[in-house]
A and B are shown apart, each in its own frame.
Chain A
């Protein structure tokens, strides 16, 4: 193998993904060729640099609580409760949110079908809500599109269940 061919295999070599014969071939080349040896060393340093500086992290503990809440309220009849609670005052804003929520559910359903079929290249059917958790996520902007700040950081789902339906806390009798 020439240097170019060797260098094309370096990634798999560093990842330990080559068969023994190939690996041996690479190693004897690296022992003799300073150019390829440096190339491999360079990749190795880069890998170490990334691994050392970007260590694994945990989500904040609140994530589990919020997830359990979302899971336990998934089937709650949010829309009825919302109106019963006298939410008409919210007006157009609330209707918009609910429409988005419906579209979100619809999209999620289809997205999941795609996942189940292991279709990797499905088109971007991301939950609509995420559109609004963009780079403006936690700034203090007055942008009317800054949906997240306007709703004090709660998802539309949480708004519906907090105001209308039972919450995890209320079910515990708190």
Chain B
């Protein structure tokens, strides 16, 4: 039997470039230099925005939260620790911002509408049916596990890095990513067999 055995083990190229030390230096300049901030923005926008969008499932909300994240990053640039991994630090802010927002959204929709969490409203841009279904699956698993699925499976980041981003131990990252995969797979299988999500 071949197939799966040959495909595992080697990390494929992650979506985002690896964390570079130059990013930290650029970040410190960006605290008071607009040009440096723009440069930093160009390098951070895709990974951070994509992460937030996958977390909340809605472009408008994602842009708003992305802006909040940038503001928080900018405000704390001066206090950046040399030893800290800059990208991991940014991710921890983005993740906390998204999870807080989702909690608030859940609380509000429950108190106003007196019904369970609403799914994110549809996006304005066109998405294929498959994309909508997969996004829906992501939105159905708890945000904590969703973030781990995104970081580990979609972004293919190393567990060590995810551990820094989330502040969780390596062991719990490993267990939780497996749990997240199981949750997603349960729904994905149902979808593949033509069932309802």
Residues of A within 8 A of B (CB): 8, 10-18, 23, 27, 30-31, 34, 37, 40-44, 46-47, 49-51, 53-54, 56-60, 63-64, 66-68, 70-71, 74, 108, 111-112, 114-116, 118-120, 122, 124-127, 130-131, 133-139, 145
Contacts and interface: CB of A to CB of B under 8 A. Distances in A.
A15 B167 contact: no
A74 B103 CA distance: 26
Contacts of A111: 72, 96, 100
Contact of A16 (B11, B72, B178): B11
B15 A56 contact: yes
Contacts of A53: 128, 130-131, 134
A115 B50 CA distance: 21
Interface string B1-32: 10111011111000100000000000000000
Top 3 nearest A-B pairs (CB, nearest first) are A11-B178, A126-B100, A120-B167
Nearest to B112: A145
Contacts of B107: 124
B60 interface: yes
Nearest to A14: B8
Which of B8, B65, B74, B96 has the most chain A CB within a 10 Å cutoff?
A: B8
B contacts with A: majority SS: helix
Given A16-B8, A46-B188, A119-B167, 8 more contacts: A11-B178, A13-B9, A16-B10, A43-B185, A49-B188, A54-B134, A57-B46, A70-B67
Contacts of A34: 1
- Interface hub of B1, B96, B138, B181 (most chain A Cβ within 10 A): B96
Given A124-B107, A133-B61, A50 B154 contact: yes
Interface residues of B, number: 78
A30 B1 CA distance: 8
B45 A58 contact: yes
A31 B1 contact: yes
Interface of B: 1, 3-5, 7-11, 15, 34, 37-38, 41, 45-47, 49-50, 53-54, 58, 60-68, 70-72, 74-76, 79, 92-93, 96-97, 100-101, 103-105, 107-109, 112, 118, 120-121, 124, 128, 130-131, 134-135, 138, 152-154, 156, 158-159, 166-168, 174, 177-178, 181, 184-185, 188-189
A145 B38 CA distance: 34
Contacts of A64: 38, 41, 45
Contacts of A136: 121
A8 B181 CA distance: 11
A10 B76 CA distance: 39
A134 B156 CA distance: 30
A68 B62 CA distance: 17
B60 A137 contact: yes
B192 to A, nearest CB: 9
A68 to B, nearest CB: 7
A54 B54 contact: yes
Q: Which of B70, B74, B159 gathers the greatest number of chain A CB atoms within 10 Å?
A: B70
A8 B64 contact: no
A133 B158 CA distance: 33
Contact of A27 (B5, B158, B167, B178): B5
B176 to A, nearest CB: 10
B50 A11 contact: no
Contacts of B103: 124, 126
A16 B7 CA distance: 10
A137 B156 CA distance: 31
